[in-house]
């Protein structure tokens, strides 16, 4: 075949910069310059942080906001790396999965701020340098992001359609090529959704992680979180307002240049090959697709990936099926059980060396208090948001306008708003046991809202029409049509909201306003106080008890409810 | 043709399948035989069809040959060497196309060549040639979602033949397409094959469509079900292109129908099968809806058939393919509402009575036959009668069934009995609680 006959689309084009290239060029080089500057900052000594205290001037905020955003980005990349390795290992090795999957499940239930103790460890890695403190902050954010991403990737790997798997094998794709050509693209839509969820949670924790004190160690990294901490100490409501504004801008930018394009491109990877959904639009994706500069760069990147394809790949041999040897299985399970028992025993020994046994009862009691708060708040939030969500979801144009707002609100780190509420509690001398509670749900209630909206908008038109045709109205309409239709979606949202509320209790059950210290009694406050006092044994006890609460409630309540919702209310 | 110079007139076997058996393990650890003692030789230049009902293991055999699965017994030899994993030189076209939705047409076609580590220029040249050959010119940059089913399967073909395979395996490649599209694609393929333009050594085609098999193949292997075994081999020596209305073509189709409705152990070649094999509690059942059962009874009872019909003829009249029709006919046979054999279906007395009854009479007639001739239905009813609460969990029967068949088959068998039992009103089933009861919500 001569080149004249090649279709135009496959011939290489010469590079001519266009207007999208100019935009891409500016953005890319600004980012590179900033990264270089930030990398230099890492090598400075810790004492530098102390000599340059956080400034409350609004003009300092863009710089702080940029540093906070960079921490988020690094944590997200780390989470992706973890996802690709951990989940792949769990999916490929049945034996590894027996350990890795339950471990992930537990890690998901551990209150993230419980990890703040590790800051001491990270500081010791790079003595006297800022890098260690930065690593600690990034690690905290990482722990709030990685688990659900890994879970989603693992599930995707396990549910690759049989024919695609067979096609990949029949055409001799090696492991590396298979990963990039089949597994990653297939997992993309679910992974992108989980990255967004992670990101939303991440903002909350990056703010909390920038100003940490564990025992005698206090680290204040320049960023929006430490700006807020300083504003609280100075009782400066104006500065808090500025910080809220800056955070909003950062989240909007992130949304525009990272998530809109990701969501728009996720449609690409979907397996269902019909085009019923309205395509998502994104100017940043348009830029990436239209800019030849970027597509040349991407081409080079793809070329490097393809080098990996050319590793000599022996066809994977298929083995004759055998029954798995029983004793080898039991040996493996035995070994795992032994290690788990040893860790459990060591932990228990450590905790009880420092704590009297009856305190465990006290801690469980505190857990019940926090549980009560979570239950009441979820019920309240449901009573408010389910009707509103249904109302919005049934009106497509309204839903299209509200969804991004709800997503933005979910991403917004509500701990920035805490000082506003706390100053109110102090001013009106309200009971902290009651009035601190709503802070727990402030950030996570939105998951209920946007899941219900999604559920109501997926209600088939015909069912709506049958409802009005049969004149089903009022309470009957809610009972027979609206509530069953949104129920599975509601459960998904409520699980997320409840999990988030447990986590948030650690930062919301205790609060400061200047030198005024407020505390509600609950498990969150117990963990927060133990961490602040540097009492390791109590922190561990609190975390273990809270993790148990979350795991048990998930197993006994949410999972059965979810399974029931799936079975009873699915549309097909 | 193939890159390695093809020796002219070389009837050597590309593929030898010797005494292949494949069993899967049931939940209790006992093996369940899916394929038993299958032998097959594939020579260069021929198209061989594997024809059989669902559950005959023909797709399993294809996967064993592709190296996607390993046999429990026997060997697959490709060019004299045993296959132990996907072999280079064997490629496959899938029923559901199996295209990667995130790759363009060109990207999908290039996939196999990229894995072969060919130079980029060569990959591009060969891919474009394949796209050109298969009639996809101009669609290089389209994504599969933008294409119709027929165009998607063309991509599937281009992707499979761009690697210049010695053997092309086709797993029901036209069955996901509408009739017209399937025919066009089939004819295009036969056209290219007949002109020797396809870089393929030989073709192995799995299908349940009898007309398609007679149209395309040089040789047909007919499989029995449970376990899958080759019960007969039919050479098709009509010249291409074949005309479906040609009497010789019709005669071959009839012969295949006869072979496929004959029961093993009884005479072949059109000899009538006597009473069907006895049905036990552990016999897998096809989930055939009662609407289909009633529909076929009505169709056969009405003119021009008057209670007796030629299966190929009625299949055509009802726009059904063999695979859709056989389970319906055989379920009627099991219920003693019809008899099937020699490529014909004939209604029994009861079947004719059913055709002329109203809904309630139909239900009670169906209930009597269901309890009398389907032991599993009678068994469920008996258990419910015996229990004082008249309730039994689904799992009780499922466990029992899984002693005799694979999990999926057990689930389907139970679903069939549930749906017939509901129609006959001999028991009720609550899917929320997964229990059988005797109370009908009346």
Reading phi first (left if > 0) and then psi (alpha if -120 to 50, else beta), residue B209 is in beta
Whether B26 contacts chain A with CB within 8 A: no
Q: B117 to chain A: which residues are within 8 Å by CB?
A: 309-310, 312
Reported ipTM: 0.76
* H/E element, B422: helix B407-424
| Whole-number Å distance between alpha carbons of B131 and A543 | 60
Determine if the peptide bond prior to B304 is cis (ω within 30°): yes
Task: Report pLDDT digits (tens) over B105-138.
Answer: 999 999 888 888 888 889 999 999 999 998 888 8
Whether B11 contacts chain A with CB within 8 A: no
Inter-chain contact B92–A173, Cβ cutoff 8 Å? no
pLDDT at residue B268 above 60? no
Q: Which of B84, B88, B137 lies nearest to residue A317, judging by beta carbons?
A: B84
Inter-chain contact B70–A177, Cβ cutoff 8 Å? no
The ranges assigned to domains in chain A are 15-310, 357-572
Whether B159 contacts chain A with CB within 8 A: yes
List the Cα angle B107/B109/B115 in 5-degree steps: 85
| Whole-number Å distance between alpha carbons of A167 and A219 | 53
As given in the structure block, the two tokens for residue B120 are 């980029």
pLDDT at residue B236 above 80? yes
Q: Are B178 and B21 in contact (CB under 8 A)?
A: no
Inter-chain contact A182–B432, Cβ cutoff 8 Å? no
| Whole-number Å distance between alpha carbons of A290 and B146 | 21
* Minimal CA separation from A4 to chain B, in Å: 12
Q: Are B60 and B76 in contact (CB under 8 A)?
A: no
Q: A164 to chain B: which residues are within 8 Å by CB?
A: 98, 100
Q: Which residue has the higher pLDDT, B114 or B268?
A: B114
Q: Which of B86, B97, B129 lies nearest to residue A169, judging by beta carbons?
A: B86
Inter-chain contact A10–B117, Cβ cutoff 8 Å? no
Strand partners, B17: B40, B76
Unique residue bearing structure tokens 């959704």: A193
Q: Are A148 and A194 in contact (CB under 8 A)?
A: yes
Q: Are A541 and A522 in contact (CB under 8 A)?
A: no
Task: Number of A to B CB contacts under 8 A, please give it.
Answer: 116
| Whole-number Å distance between alpha carbons of B226 and B207 | 17
Inter-chain contact B111–A320, Cβ cutoff 8 Å? no
Inter-chain contact B144–A273, Cβ cutoff 8 Å? yes
Q: How many CB atoms lie within 10 A of CB B378?
A: 16
- Intrachain domains A15-310 and A357-572 with the same fold: yes
Q: Could you list the pLDDT tens digit for every one of the 572 residues in chain A?
A: 344 444 444 444 455 566 666 777 777 777 777 766 666 666 666 666 666 677 788 888 888 888 888 888 889 999 999 999 999 998 888 788 888 888 887 787 777 766 667 777 777 777 777 778 888 888 888 888 888 889 889 988 988 888 899 999 888 888 888 888 889 988 888 888 788 878 877 888 887 788 777 667 777 888 888 888 888 888 888 888 898 888 888 888 888 877 777 777 776 676 554 433 444 556 666 666 666 666 666 666 666 666 655 544 454 555 555 555 667 778 888 888 888 888 888 888 888 888 888 888 999 999 999 999 999 999 999 999 999 999 988 888 888 788 778 778 877 887 788 888 888 888 888 888 888 888 888 878 888 888 888 888 888 777 777 877 787 778 888 888 888 888 888 988 888 888 888 888 888 888 877 778 888 889 989 988 888 887 888 888 898 898 889 888 888 898 888 888 877 766 55
What pLDDT is attached to residue B2? 43
Q: Which of B63, B101, B128 lies nearest to residue A270, judging by beta carbons?
A: B101
B34, with CB counted inside 10 A (0-12, 13-18, 19+), is buried
DSSP B228: B
* Class of A15-310 in CATH: mainly alpha
| Whole-number Å distance between alpha carbons of A495 and A170 | 41
Chain centre to alpha carbon of residue A233 = 29
Mutate to test the interface with A, among B65, B72, B102 (most CBs of A within 10 A): B102
| Whole-number Å distance between alpha carbons of B311 and B175 | 20
Q: B206 to chain A: which residues are within 8 Å by CB?
A: none
DSSP for A288-355 reads HHH-HHHHHHHHHHHHHHHHHHTS--PPPPPPPP-PPPHHHHHHHHHHHHHHHHHHHHHHHHHHHHHS
Unique residue bearing structure tokens 């949304």: A255
* Minimal CA separation from A277 to chain B, in Å: 13
Unique residue bearing structure tokens 């239950």: A375
Q: Which residue has the higher pLDDT, B323 or B136?
A: B136
> What is the fold, at CATH topology level, of the domain defined by A357-572?
MetI-like fold (1.10.3720)
Unique residue bearing structure tokens 């942080």: A49
| Whole-number Å distance between alpha carbons of B410 and B401 | 6
Residue positions counted in chain B: 442
Task: Report pLDDT digits (tens) over B340-388.
Answer: 877 888 899 888 899 888 888 999 999 999 998 998 999 999 998 888 8
Unique residue bearing structure tokens 């922190």: A539
Name the CA radius of gyration of chain A, rounded.
26
Strand B47-51 and strand B202-207: pairing? parallel
* H/E element, B229: strand B229-235
Q: Which of A1, A174, A270 lies nearest to residue B125, judging by beta carbons?
A: A1
Q: Which residues of A touch B (CB under 8 A)?
A: 1, 6-7, 9-10, 161, 163-164, 166-167, 169-174, 177, 181-182, 185, 188, 268-271, 273-275, 306, 309-310, 312-313, 315-321, 323, 567-568
Query: Which of A15, A170, A142 shows the shortest CA–CA distance to A86?
Result: A142
* Minimal CA separation from A313 to chain B, in Å: 9
* H/E element, B93: strand B90-93
* Minimal CA separation from B44 to chain A, in Å: 21
DSSP A114: G
| Whole-number Å distance between alpha carbons of A378 and A553 | 14
Determine if the peptide bond prior to B227 is cis (ω within 30°): yes
Strand B90-93 and strand B167-171: pairing? parallel
Residue positions counted in chain A: 572
């Amino acid at each position: 075949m001569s080149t004249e006959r090649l279709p135009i689309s496959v011939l290489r084009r010469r590079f001519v910069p266009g207007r999208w290239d100019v935009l891409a060029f500016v953005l890319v080089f600004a980012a590179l310059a900033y990264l270089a500057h930030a990398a230099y900052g890492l090598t400075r000594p810790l004492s530098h942080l102390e000599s340059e205290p956080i400034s409350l001037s609004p003009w300092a905020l863009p710089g702080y906001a940029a540093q906070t955003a960079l921490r988020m980005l690094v944590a997200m990349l780390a989470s992706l790396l973890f996802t690709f390795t951990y989940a792949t290992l769990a999916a490929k090795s049945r034996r590894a999965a027996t350990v890795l999957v339950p471990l992930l499940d537990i890690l998901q239930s551990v209150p993230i701020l419980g990890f703040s103790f590790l800051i001491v460890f990270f500081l010791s890695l790079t003595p006297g340098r800022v890098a260690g403190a930065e690593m600690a902050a990034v690690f905290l954010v990482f722990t709030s992001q990685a688990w659900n991403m890994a879970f989603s990737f693992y599930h995707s790997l396990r549910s690759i359609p049989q024919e695609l798997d067979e096609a990949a094998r029949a055409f001799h794709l090696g492991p590396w090529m298979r990963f990039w050509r089949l597994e990653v693209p297939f997992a993309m839509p679910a992974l992108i959704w989980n990255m967004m969820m992670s990101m939303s949670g991440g903002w909350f924790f990056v703010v909390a992680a920038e100003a940490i004190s564990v025992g005698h160690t206090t680290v204040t990294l320049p960023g929006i979180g430490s700006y807020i901490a300083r504003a609280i100490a100075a009782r400066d409501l104006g500065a808090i307002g500025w910080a809220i504004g800056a955070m909003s801008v950062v989240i909007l930018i992130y949304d525009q240049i990272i998530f809109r394009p990701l969501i728009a491109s996720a449609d690409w990877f979907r397996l269902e090959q019909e085009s019923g959904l309205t395509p998502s639009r994104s100017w940043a994706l348009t830029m990436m697709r239209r800019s030849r500069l970027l597509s040349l760069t991407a081409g080079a990147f793809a070329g490097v990936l393809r080098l990996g394809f050319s590793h000599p790949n022996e066809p994977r041999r298929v083995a004759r099926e055998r029954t798995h040897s029983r004793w080898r299985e039991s040996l493996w399970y035995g070994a795992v059980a032994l290690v788990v028992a040893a860790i459990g025993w060591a932990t228990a020994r450590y905790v009880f060396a420092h704590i009297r046994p009856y305190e465990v009862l006290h801690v469980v009691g505190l857990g019940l208090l926090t549980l009560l708060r979570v239950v009441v708040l979820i019920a309240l939030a449901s009573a408010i948001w389910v009707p509103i969500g249904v109302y919005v979801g049934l009106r497509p144009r309204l839903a299209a306008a509200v969804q991004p707002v709800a997503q933005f609100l979910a991403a917004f780190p509500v701990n920035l708003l805490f000082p506003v509420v706390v100053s109110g509690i102090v001013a009106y001398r309200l009971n902290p046991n009651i009035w601190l509670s709503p802070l727990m749900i402030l950030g996570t209630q939105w998951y209920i809202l946007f899941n219900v909206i999604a559920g109501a908008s997926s209600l088939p038109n015909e069912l709506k029409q049958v409802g009005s045709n049969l004149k089903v109205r009022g309470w009957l309409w809610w009972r027979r049509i609206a509530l069953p239709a949104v129920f599975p979606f509601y459960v998904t949202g409520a699980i997320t909201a409840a999990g988030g509320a447990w986590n948030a209790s650690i930062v919301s059950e205790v609060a400061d306003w200047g030198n005024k210290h407020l505390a509600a009694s609950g498990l969150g406050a117990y963990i927060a106080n133990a961490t602040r006092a540097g009492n390791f044994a109590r922190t561990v006890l609190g975390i273990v008890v809270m993790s148990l609460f979350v795991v048990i409630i998930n197993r006994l309540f949410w999972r059965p409810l979810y399974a029931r919702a799936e079975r009873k209310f699915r549309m097909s | 043709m193939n890159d390695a110079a093809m020796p002219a007139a070389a009837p050597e076997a590309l593929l030898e399948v010797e005494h292949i058996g494949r069993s899967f393990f049931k939940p209790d650890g006992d093996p369940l035989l899916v394929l038993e003692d299958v032998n097959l030789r594939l020579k260069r230049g021929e198209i061989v069809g594997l024809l059989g009902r669902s559950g005959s293991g023909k797709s399993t055999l294809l996967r064993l040959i592709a190296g996607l699965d390993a046999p429990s017994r026997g060997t697959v030899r490709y060019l004299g060497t045993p296959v132990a994993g996907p072999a280079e030189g064997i490629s496959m076209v899938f029923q559901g196309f199996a295209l990667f939705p995130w790759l363009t047409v060109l990207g999908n076609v290039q996939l196999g060549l990229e894995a072969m580590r060919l130079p980029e220029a060569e990959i591009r040249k060969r891919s474009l040639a394949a796209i050109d050959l298969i009639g996809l010119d101009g669609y290089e940059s389209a994504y599969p979602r933008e294409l119709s089913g027929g165009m998607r399967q063309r991509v599937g073909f281009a992707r499979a033949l761009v690697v210049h395979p010695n053997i092309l395996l086709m797993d029901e490649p036209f069955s996901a397409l509408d009739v017209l599209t399937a025919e066009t694609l089939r004819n295009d393929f036969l056209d290219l094959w007949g002109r020797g333009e396809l870089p393929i050594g030989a073709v192995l085609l799995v299908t349940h469509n009898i007309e398609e098999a007679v149209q395309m193949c040089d040789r047909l292997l007919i499989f029995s079900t449970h376990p899958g075994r080759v019960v007969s081999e039919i050479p098709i020596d009509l010249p291409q292109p074949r005309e479906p209305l040609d009497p010789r073509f019709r005669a071959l189709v009839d012969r295949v129908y006869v072979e496929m409705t004959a029961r093993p152990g009884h005479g072949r070649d059109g000899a009538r099968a006597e009473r069907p094999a006895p049905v036990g509690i552990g016999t897998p059942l096809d989930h055939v809806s009662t609407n289909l059962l009633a529909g076929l009874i009505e169709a056969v009872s009405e003119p021009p058939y008057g209670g007796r019909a030629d299966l190929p003829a009625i299949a055509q009249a009802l726009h059904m393919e063999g695979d859709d029709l056989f389970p319906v006919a055989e379920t009627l046979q099991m219920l003693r509402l019809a008899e099937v054999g020699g490529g014909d279906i004939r209604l029994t007395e009861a079947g004719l009575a059913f055709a002329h009854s109203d809904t309630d009479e139909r239900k009670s007639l169906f209930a009597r036959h269901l309890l009398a001739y389907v032991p599993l239905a009678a068994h469920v009813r008996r258990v419910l009668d015996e229990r004082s609460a008249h309730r039994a969990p689904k799992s009780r029967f499922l466990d029992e069934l899984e002693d005799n068949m694979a999990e999926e088959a057990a689930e389907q068998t139970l679903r069939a009995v549930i749906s017939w039992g509901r129609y006959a009103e001999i028991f009720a089933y609550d899917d929320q609680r997964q229990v059988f009861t005797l109370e009908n919500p009346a």
